[in-house]
Amino acid sequence: MDEWVFLTKDQKSVVVRHAKVADASEMFHCFCEVVQEGKWLPTTKPSSNQSEWARWIQRTYSNREVLLVARVEGEYAGHVSLQPEEWHASKHVARLGIIVRKHYRSKGVGRALMLAVEEAGRIQRYEKIVLSTFESNNVALGLYESLGYHIVGMREKHFLMPKGYINEVLMEKLIV
């Protein structure tokens, strides 16, 4: 499947499709904006640049990584990624990352990306998705739990952010 179509909560069309190299600029800038918010990702400055994002997208054309973008009425709204675990014996397991642009949050875009990426993951023969989030990220926890991800552990004080230590919640879901 190359494209998935959903509706936002306010009935706008959300098209989720595989990322193209031309998406690199919007994806990278969204990533930078989310990093700058300082609340959701365990870094305070982006450790990559737009060219590296373009190369990442290019690589997904020929490997098992999955990178999907969501567009709401044609506007870039967010993206989701699946990357295989490194061990040979864990090739059936993918790590998930997701961000939605601030303006488009809480409208159903995250759910659309998650539903599409599970299907894209099955096509790439993944059987399990693992992810993690800050214990304080109630929106992400609500989204993941509502889709059947369950908590398998917590790493205490795993991140030191400017406002102090944050626990990392580890979650997973079998997708086959």
| Distance of closest approach, residue 88 Cβ to ligand COA, in angstroms | 27
Q: Say which residue the tokens 């990624």 belong to.
A: 81
**For binding to ligand COA (CB under 6 A), which residues are involved?**
34, 40, 98-100, 105-111, 133, 137-140, 142-143, 146
* Residue number, 24 or 107, with CB nearest to ligand COA: 107
Cβ 114 to ligand COA shortest distance, Å:
8
CA–CA gap between residue 19 and residue 7 (Å, rounded): 20
* Cβ-based nearer residue to ligand COA, 24 or 99: 99
Whole-number minimum distance, CB 94 to ligand COA, in Å?
15
**Cβ proximity to ligand COA, 57 vs 143, nearer residue:** 143
Q: What DSSP element (H or E) covers 4?
A: strand 3-7
Q: Which residue is nearest to ligand COA (CB)?
A: 110
DSSP 3-state of 71:
strand
Residue among 58 and 138 whose Cβ is closer to ligand COA: 138
As measured in angstroms, the least distance from the Cβ of 62 to ligand COA is: 27
Give 14 or 54: the residue with its C-beta nearer to ligand COA: 14
Nearest in space to 123 (alpha carbons), one of 18, 13, 27: 18
User: How far is the C-alpha of 142 from the C-alpha of 14, rounded, in Å?
Assistant: 20
Instruction: Look up residue 6 and give its two tokens.
Output: 């959903």
Chain-centre distance for alpha carbon 48: 17
Tell the smallest beta-carbon distance from residue 169 to ligand COA (Å). Answer: 9
Asked if 96 and 129 count as a contact pair (C-beta separation under 8 A), the reply is yes
